[in-house]
């Protein structure tokens, strides 16, 4: 989602045509250490090679390095997880390599598999050392047996599993960094929560949280005394010491992933530049075996290609410092599987919610304090169910923690709040239709719109982000729906607000779904729309028709009341169209709104049913033409607009395009004068046979009662200036490059 300046491209185009832990405080390093690394001129582009994951267990893996080949070295195993999200009992499927595994996950199974992996490593390397690490989002968006206890039950489980080092994800900021650090450190709550949480034991997790690129805006220092890196010393039986360094990295996308109040005091520094800085600092301290714990995503697809933010960061690292000593990069955030080698760096990501884990083994040479060449091998393994791996027994200590948590929250989560029409689950985002609609998501926004109207707001529409709908809505065999089932769908407790938006802003928000490969999309209530293809690689679809609940076309200039959550109001997931919209009022928490909706509908004699997914309608250009009764509908035409009152004159400055050539782009500009003055039409010619064809602007009268024009990316004159400037630059043989913001 991009914000374009209005007329710079025009000006530019015109001009161009003319096991003991040593937590080290970076703040105490001398000035030379804290300087950013000098930029190097480097043409290094590291190769990206995907690593195979064919085996389901470490024991069945055949490509581990042979310990006999590395005598005199120190064996080290790194076991990692990411994006646990309080998944104490979460199960599901996971695709790792070319294999899909079912019924994987749960904390007790994860603990058991980590133990089995460590035992397998120690059997081959009796003097080896295992270090367990996590790459953020251990908490937040959690099921009730974690969320109702402020995720302290999750921290108890991670402590029992022996995790030593972790970093911050975006969800660690959900309730503010101080609250997360409270639960990490096992301190008492600072405000009143439910009785179950207030009575829960508050104990330190034992996890050392490191973050190198989160700094205070006020003084540039890392907040709350957190450290940028940690050095683990490993003492060998022959009195040698080797060191492993860990660097913690937060995603720079944090400002679009959490509420403004939770990040407003911090700057998130560039990931690659920060890694390069602390890589050099660690090397100066004699630490050459370096692991990055980064809440940035990667993905290895079914074709064996690995890509994502983490890959881009490592490529940039090699540009900054081709001689860096990073050996392993534990990725996170995208909830996907990855296993690759980027340059010489092993890159792994173990899906999410405890469904898989990273297992990386290497041998450190005491003479270099680095992994011996060729010794580091990385794999990702599934957390198999007891049925699929009966020889691996649930960890009893972790199982007891989960059982205790359930007993404490059961009185709350088992409470019946309503009924469904059938004893079938209402499916969420893992069961999207081709248009990115899902039943649970649309039920959520229906509830938000209902709650706003119940509170007295004249709300027209409701929209929510796909990341806020976390689960299917489970329906019991007796058709009952519990509090816990509803909370699992909407776990965040985000604040719902009613905001004013013009029709043009709403269309802009809808269009913003179709960049970034539709990674971020909306569930909508109170409206429906049609979208189609467009010739734009970055945004291949556009919205062409929008109607309200009464089947009236959306008025681009009219103001509507829209229910959104605070996350979207801050531009979350890159939906800039929602940012800085005028606040009409506060509805309440999204979790409460969804629970209330289920209760209210049931009480009114309307048991919950799965919505029909017909709010987003895709049509080809041919289908649109047939529906509109015309052969070639204008690409900017939204609701059957009539151009009969618009005039134009043409000025030819060079040879006209040959027959069949692309004749340019039409941009509709909203009138800037009094209502009813019509619309300006600009035709932008393109270079043909080394010439240019530019059509002169003229204005005519358009009847706004019947002529509603829909600009492709919102009702903004800046788009036309941008296109005109880009056209002039094209005539000069140049290209506009738009650096898109990453959303991890």
Q: Give the pLDDT confidence score for residue 259 in this predicted structure.
A: 85
Show me where the domains of the chain are located.
Answer: 1-18+642-707+714-744, 37-403, 414-618
Residue 442 CA to residue 428 CA, distance in Å, equals 9
Q: Give the pLDDT confidence score for residue 570 in this predicted structure.
A: 87
Tokens in use for 644? Answer: 């009969």
- Average pLDDT, stretch 90-110? 95
- 314 neighbors 24 (Cβ within 8 angstroms): no
Q: Give the pLDDT confidence score for residue 44 in this predicted structure.
A: 75
Residue 294 CA to residue 249 CA, distance in Å, equals 4
- 547 neighbors 527 (Cβ within 8 angstroms): yes
**CB neighbour class for 441 (10 Å; exposed up to 12, middle 13-18, buried from 19):** buried
Q: Give the pLDDT confidence score for residue 637 in this predicted structure.
A: 41
Residue 50: beta bridge partners?
340
- 332 neighbors 370 (Cβ within 8 angstroms): no
Is the model more confident about 668 or about 9?
A: 9
Nearest-10 Cα torsion for 188, 189, 193, 198: 0
Residue 378 CA to residue 47 CA, distance in Å, equals 17
Question: Tokens 């989560």 label which residue?
Answer: 413
What are the pLDDT digits (tens) for 358-374? 999 999 999 999 999 99
Reduced to 3 states (helix: H, G, I; strand: E, B; else coil), residue 22 is strand
Q: Give the pLDDT confidence score for residue 150 in this predicted structure.
A: 97
What are the pLDDT digits (tens) for 380-418? 999 999 999 999 999 999 999 999 999 999 999 999 999
Categorise residue 680: left if φ over 0, alpha if ψ from -120 to 50, beta otherwise: beta
Residue 739 CA to residue 535 CA, distance in Å, equals 19
**What is the secondary structure of 385-408 as a DSSP string?**
-TTT-TTSPPPHHHHHHHHHHHHH
- Average pLDDT, stretch 336-340? 97
Nearest-10 Cα torsion for 505, 511, 512, 515: -160
- pLDDT bin (cut points 50, 70, 90) of residue 40 is low
What are the pLDDT digits (tens) for 675-725? 333 333 323 232 233 333 333 333 233 333 333 333 333 333 343 333 334
SS3 letters across 198-265: HHCCCCCCCCEEECCCEEECCCCCCHHHCECEEEEEEECCCCCEEEEEEEEECCCCHHHCCCHHHHCC
Q: For Cα atoms 61, 66, 71, give the angle at the middle one, nearest 5 degrees.
A: 155
- 51 neighbors 378 (Cβ within 8 angstroms): yes
Residue 85 CA to residue 353 CA, distance in Å, equals 6
- 252 neighbors 274 (Cβ within 8 angstroms): no
Checking if the pLDDT of 329 tops 70, the result is: yes
- Percent of the chain surpassing pLDDT 90: 72
Counting every residue written for the chain, the total comes to 744
Tokens in use for 77? Answer: 């195993």
Q: Give the pLDDT confidence score for residue 630 in this predicted structure.
A: 53
- pLDDT bin (cut points 50, 70, 90) of residue 42 is low
What are the pLDDT digits (tens) for 161-199? 999 999 999 999 999 999 999 999 999 999 999 999 999
What is the pTM assigned to this prediction?
A: 0.73
What are the pLDDT digits (tens) for 115-139? 999 999 999 999 999 999 999 999 9
What are the pLDDT digits (tens) for 614-653? 999 999 999 998 887 754 444 344 443 333 333 333 333 2
Q: Give the pLDDT confidence score for residue 697 in this predicted structure.
A: 31
Residue 138 CA to residue 156 CA, distance in Å, equals 12
Tokens in use for 39? Answer: 């930029």
Q: Do domains 37-403 and 414-618 have the same CATH topology?
A: no
Question: Tokens 């609250």 label which residue?
Answer: 179
**CATH architecture, domain defined by 414-618:** Alpha-Beta Complex (3.90)
Q: Which residues contact 552 (CB under 8 A, 6 or more apart)?
A: none
Is the model more confident about 700 or about 446?
A: 446
Checking if the pLDDT of 217 tops 80, the result is: yes
Checking if the pLDDT of 293 tops 80, the result is: yes
Q: For Cα atoms 295, 441, 90, give the angle at the middle one, nearest 5 degrees.
A: 50
Tokens in use for 272? Answer: 């690659």
Sign (positive/negative) of CA torsion 485, 489, 495, 498?
negative
Q: Which residues contact 500 (CB under 8 A, 6 or more apart)?
A: 559, 560, 561, 562, 581, 582, 584
Q: For 37-403, give the CATH class.
A: alpha beta
Tokens in use for 392? Answer: 């691996």
Q: Give the pLDDT confidence score for residue 268 in this predicted structure.
A: 98
- Average pLDDT, stretch 562-566? 96
Checking if the pLDDT of 567 tops 80, the result is: yes
CA–centroid distance for 422 within its chain: 33
Checking if the pLDDT of 308 tops 80, the result is: yes
Nearest-10 Cα torsion for 656, 661, 662, 663: 30
Question: Tokens 């000069």 label which residue?
Answer: 732
- Average pLDDT, stretch 514-532? 95
Checking if the pLDDT of 729 tops 50, the result is: no
Question: Tokens 């027959």 label which residue?
Answer: 659
Checking if the pLDDT of 3 tops 60, the result is: no
- pLDDT bin (cut points 50, 70, 90) of residue 248 is very high
Q: Give the pLDDT confidence score for residue 194 in this predicted structure.
A: 93
Q: For Cα atoms 290, 292, 298, give the angle at the middle one, nearest 5 degrees.
A: 135
């Amino acid at each position: 989602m991009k914000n374009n300046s209005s007329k710079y491209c025009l000006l530019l185009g015109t001009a161009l045509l003319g096991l003991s832990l040593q937590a080290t405080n970076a703040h105490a390093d001398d000035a030379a250490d804290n300087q950013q690394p000098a930029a190097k001129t480097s043409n290094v582009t590291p190769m990206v090679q995907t690593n195979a994951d064919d085996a389901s267990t470490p024991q069945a893996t055949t490509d581990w390095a042979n310990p006999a080949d590395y005598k005199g070295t120190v064996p080290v195993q790194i076991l990692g997880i990411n994006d646990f999200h309080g998944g104490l009992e979460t199960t599901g499927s996971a695709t790792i390599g070319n294999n899909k595994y079912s019924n994987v996950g749960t904390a007790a199974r994860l603990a058991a598999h980590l133990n089995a992996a460590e035992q397998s490593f120690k059997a081959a390397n009796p003097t080896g050392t295992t270090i367990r690490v996590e790459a953020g989002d251990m908490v937040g968006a959690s099921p009730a047996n974690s969320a109702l206890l402020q995720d302290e039950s999750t921290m108890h489980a991670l402590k029992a599993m022996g995790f030593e080092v972790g970093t911050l994800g975006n969800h660690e900021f959900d309730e503010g960094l101080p609250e997360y650090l409270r639960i990490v450190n096992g301190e008492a709550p600072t405000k009143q929560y439910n009785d179950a949480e207030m009575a829960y034991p508050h104990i330190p997790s034992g996890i050392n949280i490191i973050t190198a690129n989160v700094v205070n805006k006020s003084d540039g220092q890392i907040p709350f005394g957190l450290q940028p890196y940690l050095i683990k010393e490993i003492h060998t039986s022959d009195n040698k010491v080797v060191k492993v360094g860990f660097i913690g990295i937060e995603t720079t996308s944090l400002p679009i992933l959490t509420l403004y109040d939770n990040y407003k005091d911090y700057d998130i520094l560039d990931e690659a530049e920060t890694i390069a800085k602390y890589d050099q600092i660690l090397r100066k301290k004699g630490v050459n075996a370096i692991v990055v714990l980064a809440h940035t995503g990667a993905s290895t697809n079914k074709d064996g290609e690995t890509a994502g933010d983490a890959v881009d960061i490592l490529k940039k690292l090699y540009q900054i410092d081709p001689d860096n000593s990073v050996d392993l990069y534990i990725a996170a955030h995208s909830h996907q599987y990855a296993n690759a080698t980027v340059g010489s760096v092993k890159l792994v990501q173990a899906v999410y919610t405890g469904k898989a884990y990273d297992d990386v083994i290497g041998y450190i040479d005491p003479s270099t304090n680095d992994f011996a060449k060729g010794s580091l091998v990385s794999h990702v393994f599934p957390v198999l169910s007891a049925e699929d791996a009966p020889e691996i027994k649930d960890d009893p200590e972790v199982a007891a923690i989960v059982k205790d948590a359930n007993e404490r929250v059961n009185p709350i989560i088992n409470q019946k709040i309503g009924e469904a029409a059938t004893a079938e689950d209402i499916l969420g985002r893992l069961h999207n239709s081709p248009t990115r609609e899902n039943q649970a998501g649309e039920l959520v926004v229906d509830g938000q719109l209902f709650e706003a109207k119940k509170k007295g707001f004249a709300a027209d529409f409701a929209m929510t982000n796909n990341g806020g709908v976390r689960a299917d809505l489970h329906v019991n065999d007796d058709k009952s729906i519990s509090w816990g089932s509803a909370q699992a769908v909407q776990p965040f407790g985000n604040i719902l607000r009613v905001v004013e938006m013009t029709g043009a802003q709403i269309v802009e928000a809808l269009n913003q779904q179709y960049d970034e490969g539709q990674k971020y999309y909306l569930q909508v209530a109170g409206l429906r729309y049609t979208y189609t293809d467009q010739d734009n690689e970055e945004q291949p679809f556009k919205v062409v028709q929008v109607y309200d609940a009464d089947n009236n076309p959306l008025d681009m200039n009219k103001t509507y009341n829209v229910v959104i959550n605070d996350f979207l109001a801050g531009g979350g997931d890159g939906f800039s169209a929602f940012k800085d919209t005028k606040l009409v009022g506060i509805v309440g928490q999204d979790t409460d709104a969804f629970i209330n909706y289920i209760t209210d509908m049931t009480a009114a004699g309307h048991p919950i049913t799965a919505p029909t997914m017909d709010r987003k309608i895709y049509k080809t250009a041919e289908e649109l033409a047939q529906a509109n009764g015309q052969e070639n509908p204008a690409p900017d035409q939204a609701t059957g607009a009539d151009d009969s009152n618009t005039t134009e004159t043409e000025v030819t400055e060079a040879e006209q395009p040959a027959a069949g050539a692309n004749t340019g782009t039409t941009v509709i500009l909203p009138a800037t004068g009094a209502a009813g003055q019509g619309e300006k039409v600009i035709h932008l010619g393109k270079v043909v046979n080394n010439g240019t064809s530019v059509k002169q602007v003229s204005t005519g009268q358009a009847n706004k009662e019947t002529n509603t024009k829909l600009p492709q990316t919102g009702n903004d004159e800046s788009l036309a200036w941008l296109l005109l400037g880009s056209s002039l630059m094209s005539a000069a043989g140049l290209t506009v490059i738009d650096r898109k913001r990453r959303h991890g």
